[in-house]
Every structure is written in structure tokens, then in C-alpha cells.
Amino acid sequence: MEKKQLPMFVFLLMLIVTTSFKFLPKEVVRNDFKKIYDKYNVQGSFVIYNKNKDEYTYYNKEQTIRPFTPASTFKICNTLISLNSKVIDDEDVVIKWDGKQRQNPAWNHDTDMRDAFKNSTVWFYQELARRVGEKRMKAYLEKANYGNHDISGGIDAFWLTGGLRITPQQQIDFLRKLQSDKLPFSKSSMDILRDIMIVDNKQEYIIRAKTGSGKQDGVYIGWYVGYVTTKDNIFYFVNCIQTKEKNDNFNNARIEISNIILDEIGAFK
């Protein structure tokens, strides 16, 4: 009996589907990370991308596609936009303090971008955003595909109390593009950002990261996003924690949880 051949379009469709699945990143779900979040009395989610393994590790994966206010993690993108649009020449240009006393003593003086990024100086980056302006800011967010591109709520507040939202998964995607020079910004802008993002420089590894803290729908949001480069690998990570009752250890929790998990998966070796 003669065998019937598959129509060519069916064969091609099967080939495309098979090939696509073959090249999808691997995924690992670590529900056991819950005990770490419980220790700090917070909810949250964690996502790691291991470059060499082409593998994502998730805790609370469903939440990694939920949009949150980026708060000060937007300083990563704001740095690139400000440098690329030439509203500031480089990381060493000092902007004069306006004399207003603010909650963080580290903010109450003239400062440059390097220290403003390190100290998360809100007024400095608000001034940069005002210099960029709404039209250019919106265009850059769309071009870079950052979060939902929403700048409602004021040019100097949209990432703090306005409409800008980003998911943990989108944060990872943005960091991966940054490290591989695939963002729509000049290489010099990305080089400066990568330099001022360094929070720990050891012989075995370098951590580049940014914290963020905000409030959304009555819930406190805490971010720690970044990546670890070793001699032969890169681990991208995003930690997003939440609580309705913020305690004194909340800000430390976002970093400490991240370091515990990164150490457990071998990112510091």
C-alpha cells in the first residue's frame, strides 16, 4: 500500500515548531526559595538567567510577568537616556544641590552621576528627566521597549508615583540587552552605566546592580536588579519583594535575599 506524503506546508510547520522549541531557554522552578522570603517576612519573586546554560531559574514564576512600579531601578534607563540625549556630558559632571533638606543625608549636597546612582539620589535624576523632557523621554522608552512606556504622572515623577510599570521578566531582558550592547544607546553611554553600576568588585566576580523602593496599590515594593559577571559566565537576576507592613529590615531584605540565592546557585564561585 502506497504511503501518503505530508503536504509541504504541514512539513514546514512541523519543522518550524520543532526548531523553535529546540532553542527555547531551559526553565527551573525553585519553590524552596520561599523559606528565604518567609525568613524576612516578605512576599516576592526571583528570576535568574544563567547565560552559559541558557537557563532561567524562577521562584514564584507567575509574578515575574506582573508589572510593578520600577522606582529607583529606573535610574538604569534614566542614566542611558540622559547621557545619550546629551543633557549631561558624563558621570563626573556635578549638579548643584538646591539646598532643600531631604530624608537621606547623602542627598543634601552637590553631586555627580556616579554618586547619585550609588546613593539613589532622587532629586539628581529628577533634574535629568526634566532636562530630557516629555517628548524625548517617551520616544526613548518606546525605542528601548522599557516597561509599558507610560510617563503619565509628571516628567519628574512617572517612575516613582506615576504610570510607569515594568515586570521582573522585562527587567531581566533589559539587563541582558545592556550587557550585550543591544540597547538603542551609544556604546559610551552603556560603558558609563556599566561602570557606575558596580557594587562589588572581587577577583572571582563583579556585581552590577541597582535597588529600588516604592509603593503601589497600598503595598510596599522593593527591587534589587542586576547581574554577576565571572571569568566565564554571567548571571542576570531580579528580586522583587512586597509587604503591606514595612519594617526596618525591608531595604536590606531585597539585597540579602538576592545574595543568598545567588550564592546557592553558584554565581559567586
> Which tens digit of pLDDT belongs to each residue from 203-231?
999 999 999 999 999 999 999 999 999 99
Residue 166 burial by CB count (10 A; 0-12/13-18/19+): exposed, middle or buried? buried
pLDDT value of position 24 = 83
Coil, helix or strand at residue 152: coil
pLDDT value of position 144 = 98
Question: Going by C-beta distance under 8 Å and a sequence separation of 6 or more, which residues neighbour residue 118?
Answer: 196
Q: Are 127 and 78 in contact (CB under 8 A)?
A: no
pLDDT value of position 269 = 86
Q: Are 81 and 140 in contact (CB under 8 A)?
A: yes
Domains, the chain, ordered by start = 25-264 (3.40.710.10)
pLDDT value of position 20 = 46
85 is catalytic: no
- List of the chain residues with pLDDT < 50: 20
Q: Of the listed 45, 72, 85, 120, which one is catalytic?
A: 72
Indicate the pTM of the whole model.
0.90
Q: What does the DSSP 8-state code read for residue 102? A: -
- CA dist., res. 85 & res. 181, Å (int): 17
